[in-house]
Chains A and B, each alone.
Chain A
Amino acid sequence: MKQFFSFIQKEFYHIFRDPRSLLLLLLMPVALMVIFGFAVTNEIKNNKLAIMDLSRDEASRKLINRFSASPYFDLSVLVPESASLETIFHKNKAAMVMVIPAHFNEDLMASHATTLQLLADGSDPNTANSLINYASAIIGDYQQEEFPETASAFQIVPITRMLYNPELKSAFFFVPGVMGLILMLISAMMTSVSIVREKELGTMEVLLVSPLKPFMIVLAKAVPYLLIALVNVLTIIALSVWVLGLPIRGNFALLLGESTLFILSCLSLGLLISTAAQSQQIAMLISLLGLMLPTMMLSGFIFPIENMPMPLQVISNIVPAKWYIRTIKAIMLKGLGLGAVWKENAILLGMTLFFLAVSIKRFKIRLQ
């Protein structure tokens, strides 16, 4: 046991001797939290709107004012009739163009009917769809308030309550994902690379002749990264509570326990990668190229899993981060207890044991 600890100590020396990497490891969650907390949001706002006003009367002016007051649109240009809409889109000058027909006011008053034309840049389907919805709502409001007779006689009024996140902050959605991504990449990448590094430099041979069991040596390499990852968990939680204003509704100890379980499964995945990789470059390619995008895209971090086509929903089950993200949402944001996440726990535990079993087997084969 004493030897085991001295091996752990040796790993720590390696890490502390390279303060630049350590600093990056500790800073990475901070940077990501800032980006997700303040910069990145999947809301649609401030989109450039070009208006081709062929009427230039009072009614059209009022309508335009409504658009410029909306947070969804940035009124960027009033374009003349002769303008080429193609060019506007080709140079990304606007995400939507609204064409107000000639005699807008007159038609409204006299014939009670007129048609507005909305042309959206559909290359980004999500934005296009939302913009058309928002624009229709703005036009509807305009209609209702300028010509109130259209108000309906019967009214069912929906009273909407937003559970768990009444202010609809996007941080609620992203924070669990950032935790999953960071822990996954750091743990899996660091373990696999640091083991393969010893193989590559030939120092692994030296370690293997020591009286400690080979697997303990490999385990000792994982311990420091477990601790670093836990520091990351604490950093992320602290930032999300104090800077982003997220609540911790469930049990804090349980939250840490679940994070430890997830980190262990990532570390064992790293171990597995290290048994397959012959060089650091390969270990990095597998753990970064292989894990980064799938963890971002298939875990429910950025894109809701239930919107995906069925085969992908099935594939998403093998992404460990998916189960961790669900757990964090349940405990931290919904305030549920262990009973609500037993299934997720069982899956993560199963994955960890599987990764460990396969790596031990491969490790033994290699030693023979």
Chain B
Amino acid sequence: MHILLVLLKKEFTQILRNRFLLLIMFQMPVIQLLILPLAATYEMKNISMSVVDKDHSSYSAKLIDKFTASGYFKLNSYADSYEKALESIEDNTSDLIIEIPENFERTLIREKKADILINANAIDGTKAGLSSSYAASIIADFNKDIRETLLQPGKLNPAPRISITYSNWFNPTLHYPTYMVPGILVTLLSLVGGFMAALNIVSEKEKGTIEQINVTPVKKTTFIVSKIIPFWIIGMIIFTLGLLISRFVYHIYPVGTYGTLYIFAMAYMIAFLGLGLLISTYSDNQQQAMFIAFFFLIIFILLSGEFTPITSMPDWAQKMTKLNPLSYFVEVMRLVMLKGSSFRDVLTQFLTICGFGVVLNTWAVLNYKKTS
């Protein structure tokens, strides 16, 4: 115990002395948490469209008005030809071309049926799919409008109508940052904690000071614990800063309790630092440690459900997320902060993370060799 205190004093002295590093460790997560969640929105507004109106009739004008009035579309330009309009797609100024053919109005009234052409830039497939389905529902509305104006009411058969009421629980305004903040906080925490712990032991290997420790009677476990505690504390401070930002900047008031969040964060940090230390015991120098950590982190982040839904992944990828500590923390943060899940609700995830912690840290201690 006394030796642990001596080692901890050393770690803290070193960390606090390296002001620049300390500054970056706190500053970068804060700045990124202030900026990045705002960038994370899939919400489609202002789909920019270019219109080729070859009919110039009152119906074509009304249809275009209907599009711009919907709130989803904004008119970028009128073009004389499809080729001209395509140029605006090529230089990214519009996303969609609506082409209204000649004699559109006449055909519609005579034959009760007319076509219009929609060309969407589909490189972003999701966006193209969504914009064409918005377009389809606007056109369906428009169809109903003409029917109601052209035909006398009452002539229609009374048909059964199913009306739908819907409500969005937990985030009624569908505010996107509310969903992203917890996930980004987890990522930043993992980046700082995981990397710094991984690099720390390796940097002692590189400088040779670890040899001086290995030749003393310090126990492996004591040494590793002395490496974990400081970064654990740093991680908890970053976590606290993150919660403060989400409360006072993003106005996210956790529906669940802060207690649940902290208990989970504490266990998570231990598990993730264990991973960092494990990586460091397998690396000879900082460059190597950084690579391995980077490799795992980027895969963890992408497969965490933070940016893209886990449910949309194929089976094998969903199974992989079970081995990803990040995915549990992201899920739990959202459950607790946004939906108010209690500690009991997330007990399974908590125990899993504890399991990760035990395995990773034990493995790190076993693999750390004082004698080669």
Q: Is the CB of B191 within 8 A of A289?
A: yes
Interface size, B (range): 35 or more
B139:A90 contact, CB within 8 angstroms: no
A residues less than 8 Å from B221 (CB atoms): none
Bound complex: CA A298 to CA B135 (Å): 28
Give B95-123 as 1s and 0s: 1 = Cβ < 8 Å from A's Cβ atoms: 10000000000001000111111111111
Structural contact, B164 and A118, CB atoms closer than 8 A: yes
Q: Is B295 an interface residue (CB 8 A)?
A: yes
| B222 close to A (CB within 8 Å) | no
Are A160 and B21 also in contact (CB < 8 A) when A91-B345, A125-B176, A308-B41 are?
A: no
Residue in B129, B203, B287, B334 whose beta carbon sits within 8 Å of that of A21 in the complex: B287
CB pair B147–A154 under 8 Å, yes or no, is yes
Q: With a CB–CB cut-off of 8 A, which chain B residues contact A9?
A: none
B287 touches A280 (CB 8 A): yes
- Rounded to whole Å, the gap between the CB of B246 and the closest CB of chain A is 14
8 Å CB interface, B115-145 against A: 115-130, 132-133, 135-136, 139-140, 142-144
Closest to B292 in A: A24
Residues of A within 8 A of B340 (CB): 90
Instruction: Give the interface SS of chain B, mostly helix, strand, loop or mixed.
Output: helix
- CB contacts under 8 Å to A, within B142-197, are 142-144, 146-147, 150-151, 157-172, 174-176, 178-179, 184, 187-188, 191-192, 195-196
Q: Which residues of B contact A120 (CB under 8 A)?
A: 166-169
A123–B179 CB distance below 8 A: yes
Chain B residues positioned under 8 Å from A162 (CB to CB): 120, 122, 125, 128, 132
* Closest beta carbon of chain B to A199's beta carbon, Å: 13
Answer whether A173 and B116 are a contact pair too, CB < 8 Å, given A128-B174, A281-B286, A326-B92: no
Is A345 in the interface zone, CB < 8 Å from B? no
| B314 contacts across to A, CB distance below 8 A | 38-39
Cα separation A47 to B305 with both chains bound (whole Å): 13
Q: What residues on B are CB-neighbors of A290 within 8 Å? A: 28
* A-contact 0/1 string along B314-328, CB 8 Å cutoff: 101100100000000
A65: CB under 8 A from chain B?
no
| Of listed A25, A74, A279, A286, residue having the most chain B CB within 10 A | A279
Cross-chain contact of A113 among B38, B108, B161 (Cβ < 8 A): B161
- Which residues from chain A contact B196 at a C-beta distance below 8 Å? 281, 285
List the A residue with the shortest CB-CB distance to B341. Answer: A90
B166 and A38 within 8 A (CB): no
For residue A143, CB closer than 8 A to chain B, the reply is: yes
A160 B118 Cβ-Cβ under 8 A? yes
Q: How far is the CA of A312 from the CA of B32 in the complex (A)?
A: 12
Question: Which of A163-171, A251-259, A357-365 makes up part of the contact surface?
Answer: A163-171
Confirm or deny: A349 has a beta carbon within 8 angstroms of a beta carbon on chain B.
no
Known: A158-B135, A307-B43. A139 touches B120 (CB 8 A): no
The yes or no answer to B263 lying at the interface (CB within 8 A) is no
A221 in contact (CB, < 8 A): no
Give the shortest distance, in Å, between B326 (CB) and chain A (any CB). 13
Q: B174 and A330: CB pair below 8 A?
A: no
Name the one of A20, A44, A90 contacting B288, with C-beta atoms under 8 angstroms. Answer: A20
Contacts of B192 in A (CB 8 A): 285, 289
- Which A residues are in CB contact (< 8 Å) with B317? 35, 38-40
Does B124 lie within 8 Å of A173, measured CB to CB? Answer: yes
Residues of B within 8 A of A336 (CB): 90
Tell yes or no: B83 within 8 A of A by CB.
no
Given A123-B170, A279-B21, A340-B90, A42:B126 Cβ within 8 A = yes
| Interface segment out of the listed A144-152, A204-212, A237-245 | A144-152
Q: Does A109 contact B (CB under 8 A)?
A: yes
With A117-B166, A189-B290, A288-B195: A35-B46 Cβ-Cβ less than 8 Å? no
Q: Is the CB of B170 within 8 A of A154?
A: no
Q: Give the shortest distance, in Å, between B283 (CB) and chain A (any CB).
A: 8
B44 within 8 A of A: yes
Residues of chain A within 8 A of B303, CB atoms compared = 35, 39-40
Which of B108, B118, B295 is within 8 Å of A161, CB to CB? B118
Q: Does A45 contact B (CB under 8 A)?
A: yes
Q: Which chain A residues border B146 with CB–CB below 8 Å?
A: 154
When the two chains form their complex, are residues A168 and B125 in contact, meaning their CB atoms are under 8 A apart? yes
**Smallest CB gap from A23: residue in B:** B291
Whether the pair A281, B203 counts as a contact (CB closer than 8 A) is yes
A82 at the interface (CB under 8 A from B): no
Q: How far is the CB of B335 from the nearest CB of chain A, in Å?
A: 6
Question: Min CB distance, B108 to chain A, in Å?
Answer: 7
Check: A334 CB closer than 8 A to any chain B CB: yes
Within 8 Å CB of A18, what residues of B? 284-285, 287-288
Considering the complex, which residues of chain A in the window 340-357 have a beta carbon less than 8 Å from any beta carbon of chain B?
340
Q: How far is the CB of A346 from chain B (nearest CB, A)?
A: 15
Interface string of A15-48 (1 = CB under 8 A from B): 0001011001101100110011011111111111
Known contacts A40-B313, A89-B339, A289-B24, A152 near B291 by CB under 8 Å:
no
Q: Which residues of A have CB within 8 Å of B24?
A: 282, 285-286, 289
Interface centre among A122, A170, A200, A285 (most CB of B within 10 A): A122
Query: In the complex, what residue of chain B is closest to A104 when comparing beta carbons?
Result: B162
What's the minimum C-beta distance from B189 to chain A, rounded to whole angstroms?
Answer: 11
Are B21 and A122 closer than 8 Å at their CB atoms? no
Question: Which partner residue on chain A sits nearest B338 by CB separation?
Answer: A123
Chain B proximity of A70: nearest CB distance (Å): 14
* Chain B proximity of A223: nearest CB distance (Å): 17
At the interface, yes or no: B25 with Cβ under 8 Å from chain A? yes
Apart from A124-B309, A163-B120, A282-B21, list 17 A-B contacts with CB within 8 A: A39-B316, A40-B313, A43-B125, A44-B312, A115-B164, A124-B179, A133-B133, A135-B164, A152-B143, A154-B108, A160-B118, A173-B124, A189-B290, A194-B287, A282-B24, A284-B199, A289-B191
Q: List 16 interface pairs A-B (beta carbons < 8 Å), by A numbering.
A: A18-B284, A42-B42, A113-B163, A154-B147, A158-B136, A159-B118, A163-B120, A168-B126, A172-B123, A172-B124, A173-B125, A193-B287, A280-B286, A282-B21, A285-B25, A285-B28
Tell me the B residues contacting A by CB distance below 8 Å: 18, 20-21, 24-25, 28-29, 32, 35-36, 38-46, 48, 63, 89-92, 95, 108, 112-130, 132-133, 135-136, 139-140, 142-144, 146-147, 150-151, 157-172, 174-176, 178-179, 184, 187-188, 191-192, 195-196, 199-200, 203, 206, 284-288, 290-292, 294-295, 298-299, 302-303, 307-309, 311-314, 316-317, 320, 331, 334-335, 338-342, 345
Give me the 9 closest cross-chain CB pairs, A-B, nearest first: A122-B168, A168-B125, A39-B317, A125-B174, A162-B122, A123-B338, A165-B122, A118-B166, A122-B171
